[in-house]
Chain A
Amino acid sequence: MSAPSCSLCAFVKSSIGRKIIVAVTGLALVLFLAGHLTGNLLIFAGRDAFNDYAQFLHEVFHGAGVWIARVGLLACFTAHLWFTILLTKENKSSRKKYSHQATVQAPKSSLIMIWSGLTILAFIIFHLLHFTVKAGTDYASFMQVMPDGSERHDAWKMVIVGFSNPLVVIFYVIAMTLLCSHLSHGVASIFQTLGLRTKKTAGPITLLSKAYAVVIYLGFISIPLAIILFGFGCEACK
């Protein structure tokens, strides 16, 4: 019985095993981003569509769905963060620095992974306090009155009001820019670490990685920019 646990220990302690954990948790987070973006873009479909979606998220599996997702994401995020910090610390101490440093082909995004990642961490903490906990705001009191007279939380108005603050938008755009950089190297790295990259697929994987990063970037920044630059939805919240 001790054999399986020992192989697992060796796997988690090995450099490749740790990288595989980072890749798998990274993949889960990458797929979450696609889902999150798709849902968020419903904001452009109007108040009813967006609030229906928000209500659905909170009511799926009798309200358990959102908590299953939250716990799962927290576990993935924590493991991703823990192992990348561990690996980065080992990497930084693996040699004495060259006095003449040179980079041949490593892309810039790959050199700043830990910094783009930590900025994303800071952003997520802010983002959760802002829209999930709604700390220091009156967002929880925003209500949409339904045709039958009942009320539900007006998530649509919360987003419009939230992104009417230029400082929030600036931080959001900076964080998304670094997320784009993180993804452009990260998505391709998932394929390499899981052993799915070959000479033939190397080109398409690099392209897919960059394209995915750009789609996620443009998709996410389109919302705050539409609100703050083009006044999207602002007449509704006055």
Chain B
Amino acid sequence: MSLLNLTLKVWRQENAKSEGRIETYEAKEIPTSASFLEMIDIVNERLIQDGEEPIHFDHDCREGICGMCSMTINGVPHSKERGITTCQLHMRKFKDGETICIEPFRANAFPVVKDLVTNRSAFDRIIASGGYISVRTGSAPDAHAIQIPKADADAAFDAAACIGCGACVAACKNASAMLFVSAKASHLNHLPQGQSEKDQRVLGMVRQMDEEGFGNCTNQFECEAVCPKEISASHIAKLNRDYLAASARDSVS
């Protein structure tokens, strides 16, 4: 097994209010089989042994499902590798002697908590403003009780793959949350269960998105390129269409 010696340029920030700075660390003898987060674990072990403050970062499942590992690697959220989260990135993708720049997901709507940890509660508030359906709870309905065309089921499923990691916002030149909001709205708007609250959902989620201070979409599709679940920007077009229709219906009702 070969070992890598790397130079890390890492964003260090005490708390949300303090000024951050880039610090340089040597990451020596990193096995190529390590994941990116394991590489930081190794560096942190050494920092702790040396009595220094370890690099703080978000992580949870480490298998690409939870969407917690929010970091920008050489300017690209979750790295330039397509369709993966940071925890699924392996060190064999890097060359010996390489310098890696690691920064938090940057957006005013995602304030830094500490180092690479950001507060992405803005997404939760967007979901609370419409990303749900109101149904009677209780026993599960029969699977065939509501017929759903295959194309709609597939489109809803593609959108539902969103893990809410925030890479779309971090990659967007304008820190826009349109891919996230469109995926969450599209997921429910494609299904019969989502129809009754469709207009309310679209208007509510877009209003909350604007209030959180995200930027505006300029159709550059950087979001689509970095999305670990490869969600298509065609969902953004659907959100635009649904928003126009919802606004029109809202103005005459």
Measured CB to CB, the residues of A under 8 A from B are: 3-4, 7-8, 10-11, 13-20, 87, 90-91, 93-107, 110-111, 113, 185, 188-189, 191-199, 202
Contacts and interface: CB of A to CB of B under 8 A. Distances in A.
Given A104-B76, A195-B240, A15 B217 contact: yes
Interface of B: 9, 11, 22, 72, 74-76, 80, 101, 103, 106-109, 171, 173-176, 203, 206-207, 209-210, 213-222, 224-226, 232-234, 236-244, 247, 250-253
Nearest to A19: B216
Given A95-B107, A105-B220, A192-B236, 20 more contacts: A7-B247, A7-B250, A10-B247, A11-B247, A11-B251, A16-B240, A18-B216, A90-B174, A94-B213, A95-B215, A97-B106, A99-B22, A100-B74, A104-B226, A106-B221, A110-B219, A110-B220, A111-B173, A192-B240, A197-B237
A113 B216 CA distance: 14
A109 B216 CA distance: 17
8 contacts: A15-B217, A16-B243, A19-B240, A87-B218, A95-B175, A98-B103, A107-B220, A197-B234
Nearest to B158: A199
B75 A98 contact: yes
Contacts, number: 145
- Chain A, interface SS category: helix
Contacts of B176: 15, 91, 94
Given A14-B210, A99-B101, A193-B219, A104 B80 contact: yes
Most buried by B among A96, A98, A107, A199: A98
B233 A95 contact: no
- Chain B, interface SS category: mixed
B34 to A, nearest CB: 22
A99 B242 CA distance: 37
Top 10 closest pairs, chain A to chain B, by CB: A195-B241, A102-B75, A94-B215, A91-B174, A106-B220, A7-B251, A100-B101, A94-B175, A104-B225, A195-B240
Given A19-B216, A19-B217, A102-B76, A192 B233 contact: yes
B30 to A, nearest CB: 20
Contacts of B215: 15, 90-91, 94-95
